[in-house]
Amino acid sequence: MSKFGRSLFGVSLLLTVLLAAATTSAEYYNYGSALDKTFLFFEAQRSGKLPATQRVKWRGNSGLKDGLAQGVSLEGGYYDAGDNVKFGLPMAFLVTMLSWAAVDNRKELSGLNQMQQTLWSIRWGTDYFIKAHPQPNVLWGQVGDGQSDHYCWERPEDMTTSRTAYKLDQYHPGSDLAGETAAAFAAASLAFKPYNSSYSAILLTHAKELFSFADKYRGLFTDSIPNAKAFYMSSGYSDELLWAAAWLHRATGDQYYLKYAIDNAGYMGGTGWGMKECNHFYFLQADYILGKNRQGMSYLVGYGPKYPLRVHHRGASIPSIFVQRSSVSCVQGFDSWYRRSQADPNVIHGALVGGPDQNDNYSDDRANYEQSEPTLSGTAPLVGLFAKLSGKLGSYGGGYSKPYQTTKPPASSYKATPTRYTPKQSGAPIEFLHSITANWMAGDTRYYRHKVIIKNNSQKQISDLKLKIEDLSGPIWGLNPTGQKTTYQLPEWQKTLRAGQTHDFVYVQGGPQAKVSVLSYY
């Protein structure tokens, strides 16, 4: 049952689903309803004492003694996936993504009457993180033993497996996990600012302390919490530190964090737009996820007429504690419920499963956890996505006003066809290297992912570079708009280009490529 190679940002999904048949003509689906369902998934993942407002009624209280053996209360928070472990890293990612949506899609979420729900979902994570961060240099990073948890198939309400808690401190550092949690606190502080300034201030204090801890005591959290290794392999902590600094700068306006990001962006090699790019593919894929695919099936559980019925999820696959009150033991869970071919007794609304394979096949089988298990980190980006789409396109009453259309098999669109050309600007002080790094069909249109490398060929430092980009019809990452039409500039952390330094940006669109030229620089 172990999930080796589980990817934090749903990378496997990105490769199999997201680069497959894509669409931008979003017109058949009710994104408001999809959004509401994703909040139900987060409710189903709740650990601790559930509030009276809990809508997912098949779940009960659980994990009430988490942390007690270590003398700390770690009640609350979210279970990670189909298992009952509370992993800090994906939980922090979830809180950051929810907060990001609350900050950047405030209008849409308020319009859909979902802002309170968003804040509650954030708070279920941050209230737990506050408990997990009792001292400036201590962060409890995990509750539950991933190995023993996977030997059992039990509802969270009657867990018998170890609830060991694992912590980071100055002798056991984890800059990646502490950095990601600092980012979550800072983003949540921004999200709460207009609604509860005292809570916002508390969150910001935690964010600053955790950032100092992450920065001062450097290390990988998986070296300090080896139990997490099989589930969340960390390859470095620079992205998380930059990510935290960026959110702290946004939350505080303090130049210290901006300077930190600028000073470290180069050697740390992080740019920060990798994740936004990931979001973009989700954006293209909303309809694909909701049913516009070869299976004619929604991969968001409980949405539309056809969706996964055998989800790799302990709670969903065993009857509710309120229906079957006697406990279901470790092995009995496997024998009686996991191996059954019947549908889950509980529909876990709003869970995004791993999704189909490269051939667009989906096997609706609990044992096939790569395809049938939902995760916090995989579902988290959907909140901002559905909010944006609802705001942009409005909600469609029935959600299925037109029959499904299945797209062409995507197999042929897997191989990127890189085409590299050196434009006229070659030899000029600033050179652009343009390449196509991916392409795919969506309906009748072929979309291209263009990557442009900006290179400084001049003899002096270039700053305040302004670019003119014409014929741009799709989204763009790695450059910031200036406010003037067709004019873009380098992001704040990359104001100057030193010797030998390059800067990449990316855009996606159908049809011919955009025209990129230099407007001005100093």
Ligand X SMILES: *[C@@H]1O[C@H](CO)[C@@H](O)[C@H](O)[C@H]1NC(C)=O
Scanning 83-91, 165-173, 307-315, 496-504 for contacts with ligand X by CB under 6 A, the matching segment is 496-504
Smallest distance, ligand X to C-beta of residue 522, A? 10
Q: Which residues contact 184 (CB under 8 A, 6 or more apart)?
A: 91, 92, 93, 95, 96, 99, 125, 126, 129
Q: The tokens of 451 are what?
A: 């990557």
Of residues 325, 314, 387, the one with CA closest to residue 351: 314
Handedness of CA 293, 315, 65, 152 (dihedral sign): negative
Q: What is the spatial distance between Cα 59 and Cα 313, in angstroms, rounded to a whole number?
A: 13
Query: For residue 477, what is the DSSP state?
Result: E
| From candidates 252, 435, 486, 501, binder to ligand X by CB under 6 A | 501
Q: Does 295 bind ligand X (CB under 6 A)?
A: no
70-99 binders of ligand X (CB under 6 A): none
Q: Does 412 bind ligand X (CB under 6 A)?
A: no
Q: Does 196 bind ligand X (CB under 6 A)?
A: yes
Query: For residue 83, what is the DSSP state?
Result: S
Total chain residues near ligand X (CB under 6 A): 17
349-378 binders of ligand X (CB under 6 A): 359, 361
CB of 116 or CB of 419, closer to ligand X: 116
CB of 420 or CB of 460, closer to ligand X: 460
Q: What is the spatial distance between Cα 7 and Cα 11, in angstroms, rounded to a whole number?
A: 6
| From candidates 99, 395, 456, 509, binder to ligand X by CB under 6 A | 456
CB of 131 or CB of 163, closer to ligand X: 131
Tell me which H or E stretch contains 166: strand 165-168
Q: Does 7 bind ligand X (CB under 6 A)?
A: no
Scanning 143-151, 193-201, 228-236, 341-349 for contacts with ligand X by CB under 6 A, the matching segment is 193-201
Q: Does 199 bind ligand X (CB under 6 A)?
A: yes
Neighbours of 347 (CB within 10 A): 19
| Sequence-ordered alpha helix ranges (H) in 79-196 | 88-104, 106-111, 115-132, 146-150, 175-192
Q: What is the spatial distance between Cα 170 and Cα 405, in angstroms, rounded to a whole number?
A: 55
Site string for ligand X, 256-285 (x = CB under 6 A): ------------------------------
Scanning 132-140, 179-187, 335-343, 458-466 for contacts with ligand X by CB under 6 A, the matching segment is 458-466
Q: Does 502 bind ligand X (CB under 6 A)?
A: no
In one letter, which amino acid is 419? Answer: T
Of residues 10, 25, 2, the one with CA closest to residue 444: 25
Q: Does 437 bind ligand X (CB under 6 A)?
A: no
Confirm whether 312 is a catalytic residue.
yes
Q: Does 162 bind ligand X (CB under 6 A)?
A: no
Instruction: Determine the distance from the C-alpha atom of residue 445 to the mean position of all C-alpha atoms in its chain, rounded to a whole number.
Output: 27
Q: Does 500 bind ligand X (CB under 6 A)?
A: yes
Q: What is the spatial distance between Cα 122 and Cα 115, in angstroms, rounded to a whole number?
A: 11
| Sequence-ordered alpha helix ranges (H) in 359-511 | 369-372, 376-379, 382-393
Scanning 194-202, 218-226, 227-235, 283-291 for contacts with ligand X by CB under 6 A, the matching segment is 194-202
| From candidates 71, 403, 499, 512, binder to ligand X by CB under 6 A | 499
Q: What is the spatial distance between Cα 382 and Cα 378, in angstroms, rounded to a whole number?
A: 8
Q: Does 129 bind ligand X (CB under 6 A)?
A: no
Q: Which of 133, 249, 280, 312 is catalytic?
A: 312
Q: Does 53 bind ligand X (CB under 6 A)?
A: no
CB of 113 or CB of 359, closer to ligand X: 359
462-481 binders of ligand X (CB under 6 A): 462
Q: Catalog residues that contact ligand X under the rule CB under 6 A.
A: 196, 198-199, 359, 361, 456, 458-462, 496-501
Q: Which residues are catalytic?
A: 312
